[in-house]
Amino acid sequence: MFTNKRSNLEKNQKRSVNNRFLNRFRRSPPKENMEDSPDAGRIIQDHRNLHNWTNKSVGDNDDELPLYMKFNDGHRLSIAAYSVLLVFSAVANMTVLVLLVKRKRVQPSRINTMLMHLAIADLMVTFLIMPLEIVWAYTVQWLAGDAMCRIMSFFRTFGLYLSSFILCCLSIDRYYAVMKPLQLVNLDRRERLMILGAWIGAAICSAPQIYIFHLEHHPAITWYWQCVSFNIFPNTYYELAYNIFVLMAMYALPLVVVLFSYSSILLEIFRRTRNPGYGNTRFIHFELIMEK
């Protein structure tokens, strides 16, 4: 009995010695870092990722502002990324636009006209949205007033909508050229209507931005103004419905149109290659249209 107690005591002593030895080499974080700071996890956040103002009560000193209301790593990343995209997008789209203008003077065609409008839409994003995001990330708060907040919020989506809708026009035009070549009547009129519809549709879809975004100051820091969408939707369901509408109109619908149009064209080309005598008249029209 005493032997068992003695052996257990020796085991416990050895275990405690081993634990003390291991603790010397174990890196334990300092106590001040073990507790989560109020700004933990917010290094790359800004006000546009929030649903409302913070409830934190702060003073007038900039050092006491929450991290997302100060210039932080997230803003530096945004400035660097948008600057690189701005240079590449400006050079590429300006080159494409100049080449299309020269080509249109020599040989006008519907496809070149639509590509010109697509390049214009991309240049609107390049020279309106990207500089806005760079300056806004640098200043953090909005300094341009309520009217400019609403106008620039409109153009933040207008160029993206227009680019997507012009892609739809291109896909529909190619679809009719290949699938229904005998219905190519009033081509110029249809082209103008589609392009006009793309511009009007982009303006209509972007119009809610003028109402949603507005200038508002922080409830605890009255000198801090920001262009936000807070306190506009009655509840989160309305906001979710609007976000779903934006995703559907800007991405899902154009994707469906493009996939349907070009998959139909590929199936038609495959059918003609399998049956050389199928639709000779349509194939002649197809070659003439693709040359345009």
Output the pLDDT for position 272: 81
Residue 124 has pLDDT above 80, yes or no: yes
Does the pLDDT of residue 222 top 90, yes or no?
no
Q: Per the structure block, which two tokens stand in for 97?
A: 């636009």
Level-2 CATH architecture, domain 63-291: Up-down Bundle (1.20)
Confidence (pLDDT) at 221: 82
Per-residue tokens: 130: 């990207």
pLDDT, greater one: 17 or 208: 208
Return the HEC string of 93-112: HHHHHHHHHHHHHHCCCHHH
Confidence of residue 219 (pLDDT cuts 50, 70, 90): confident
- Answer yes or no: is pLDDT of 113 > 60: yes
pLDDT at 5: 47
Q: Which residue has the higher pLDDT, 200 or 268?
A: 200
Per residue in 141-182, pLDDT (tens digit) is: 999 999 999 999 999 999 999 999 999 999 999 998 888 876
Q: Please, are residues 126 and 134 in contact by the beta-carbon 8 Å criterion?
A: no
User: What ranges in the chain are assigned the alpha helix state H?
Assistant: 2-25, 31-34, 73-106, 110-124, 130-139, 145-179, 187-206, 208-212, 236-247, 253-274, 280-291
Of 153 and 285, the structure prediction assigns the larger pLDDT to 153
pTM: 0.76
- Greatest extent of the chain over all pairs of C-alpha atoms, in Å: 108
**pLDDT at 84 exceeding the cut of 70:** yes
Average pLDDT, the chain: 79
